[in-house]
Each structure stands twice: as C-alpha cells, then as structure tokens.
Amino acid sequence: MATAVVARPVSRTQTRSREEEVLVWPDLVFIEFIAAMLFTITLFLLSFLVNAPLLDQANADVTPNPSKAPWYLLNLQELLLHMNAAMAGVIIPTIWLVIMGAFPYFDREQHGQGVWFGTEKAVRLTIVSAVVGFVGTWFLILWDSGKIAFFLHGWFGLSGGDSLRFLENVRSVQTQLPWPEWSRNITYSPVNIVIIGEDFQHLDFPAWLVEQGIPTMAMVGMSAMLIFSLWRVGWVVTRRDALIVLFSAFVAAYGVLTLTGTAFRGQGQELVFPWELKVSEGIPGQE
C-alpha cells in the first residue's frame, strides 16, 4: 500500500502593514484602565490622609438588635439559628448547590425536557411538595423557637411536666434529658486535633445530636420520606417526578426561611409578628 506523502505548504510569516493591525485591547479600555488606576491611587492616598467620619457607626460594640444580614441572605441566617454554624453557613448551601447541579445527570430522560409540569402528575406533585415544605419548615421553626410548647402551655394549659421538657425546642433535647456523663465525652480519635480552640478528640454526643444530627435528619429524612410516600401512592413514577418533589419542597422551604428571617424575627431573634417587629439601634442605655 502506497502512502501518499503530501507536502504541506510552508507557512511564512505574513507581513502586515500597521493599518491592518487591530489592538486586542481597544483604545477605550486603555483609557478606562488608566482612569481606574488614577481613581484607585487617589482613593488610596485619600484614605491615608482622611479618616472616614464613621465614628460610632463603626463601633463594633454597638450592635443593632436584631442584627440582620441583607434580606436575600436571611434564609441562611435563619438556618444559623437552628444548627451548627459551619453546617448552616457553608456545608448545606454547598451540598445543595452540588445536588442541583447534578439534577441533569440524574434525570437523563430526553423526552419532555424543558416542558413545564412535563410529567403526568407534575402539577399535583408540585402543589403537595410545596405545601409540605411550607408547613414542615414552619413547624420546625415554631418547634425550635419554643413556640409550640409555649402555645400548648399558654392556650390549652397543657404541660408535659418534667418528663416532656426536652421537647420544648431542639436545644432542650441536650439540656433537659438525663444524658449519662460518658455520652458527653466520647473519645473517637487517638490524637487530639485542636482547630481554632475547638477540641476534635472527644464527641459531645447530645451537643452533636442537637447541632448536627437532628437538623440533618430533618432535612434529609423529611425529603426522603416525602419522595418515598409519594412514590408509594403512585404519584412519583420517574426520576423527574422525584426531582420535581425535591425542588418544589426546597423552594417552599427557602421562601419560608427568607420570610421568617425578614419579617418574623424581632429583638433577640425572637419569633414575633411583623407588626411587632422593632429594631433597636443597640446604643447603650437606649435599648
């Protein structure tokens, strides 16, 4: 078999005249860049010379009560009220973003892509999951703020007595149950790792349960139970159905968290009605 050897044309650098060349950075960008540099340098020098007249507004010891993030982050702040800080602020958002990014890899069905409510029971699933997410999130918030126990006690005179005190809120599970002493100090690592003053050799099981265990069980367990029970009644058929359930419940929960953090959290992050919400500037003596 003969192999044809085709000589490639030798490329030679083409000479161009100056007029043919086009700058990769247009002139305007250069001008803007120089302006930005001048502005930055001026601001830098100015900040050396002149102090911003913030005075008491920049006093970290004066904290408004309640202290709130911008409204679009109040869902995260609301989560922070109920669980471990790293979990609520970093781990859960990251995991959820990864899960949402994985949706198209889990639901590989081509048929009906991009169609709103594209499966047979989609509308029903959306409504049911949104209602469950809405009610479930409110229930958990009310429980953890002690309001359910408070209402039962105040409205109906019901009291669990000493045996049910641990149900008042999530933290009571740790503080009101007679946990044996060993369970508060379970050694699980042969060496002690201390990160920012935190001891990672011993597990305080009741604290772990309250700050991480119960919230994880609530979030993963309730989502799984919702999908499972809707599958048992035959409404969830395809993977897309399961994702519709998961996402609708998430949107409802996210909305409730944002709403609660924005309009229902008063001083000391106490759960109040929106018309009772007053903000104190936190100036000493004027609270």
> How near is the Cβ of 75 to another protein at its closest, in Å?
14
| Closer CB to another protein, 38 or 90, in the complex | 90
Q: Which of 157, 180, 190, 268 binds another protein (CB under 8 A)?
A: 268
> How near is the Cβ of 48 to another protein at its closest, in Å?
19
- Taking residues 52 to 71 in sequence order and writing x for each that binds another protein by CB under 8 A, - otherwise, the string is --------xxxxxxxx----
Q: How far apart are CA 248 and CA 228, in angstroms?
A: 15
Told to check if 206 binds another protein by CB under 8 A, we report no
Q: How far apart are CA 222 and CA 137, in angstroms?
A: 10
- Biggest distance spanned by C-alpha atoms of the chain: 100
Q: Which of 92, 125, 129, 168 binds another protein (CB under 8 A)?
A: 168
- Taking residues 83 to 102 in sequence order and writing x for each that binds another protein by CB under 8 A, - otherwise, the string is xxx--x--------------
Contact 140, 253 (CB under 8 A): no
- Taking residues 210 to 229 in sequence order and writing x for each that binds another protein by CB under 8 A, - otherwise, the string is -x------------------
Q: Which of 197, 233, 273, 286 binds another protein (CB under 8 A)?
A: 197
Told to check if 77 binds another protein by CB under 8 A, we report yes
Per CB under 8 A, contacts with another protein among 236-265 are 265
Per CB under 8 A, contacts with another protein among 137-156 are 145-146, 149-150, 153
**Both tokens of residue 3?**
């192999």
What does each C-alpha distance from 13 to 10, 20, 23, 26 come to in angstroms?
10, 15, 19, 24
- Single out the residue of 114, 80, 136, 105 nearest to residue 249, CA to CA: 136
- Single out the residue of 170, 174, 148 nearest to residue 160, CA to CA: 148
With CB under 8 A as the rule, give the number of residues binding another protein: 41
- Options 36-44, 172-180, 229-237, 238-246: segment touching another protein (CB under 8 A): 172-180
**Both tokens of residue 170?**
């999530």
Angle at 285 between CA 283 and CA 287, to 5 degrees: 65
Told to check if 21 binds another protein by CB under 8 A, we report no
- Single out the residue of 95, 128, 100 nearest to residue 231, CA to CA: 128
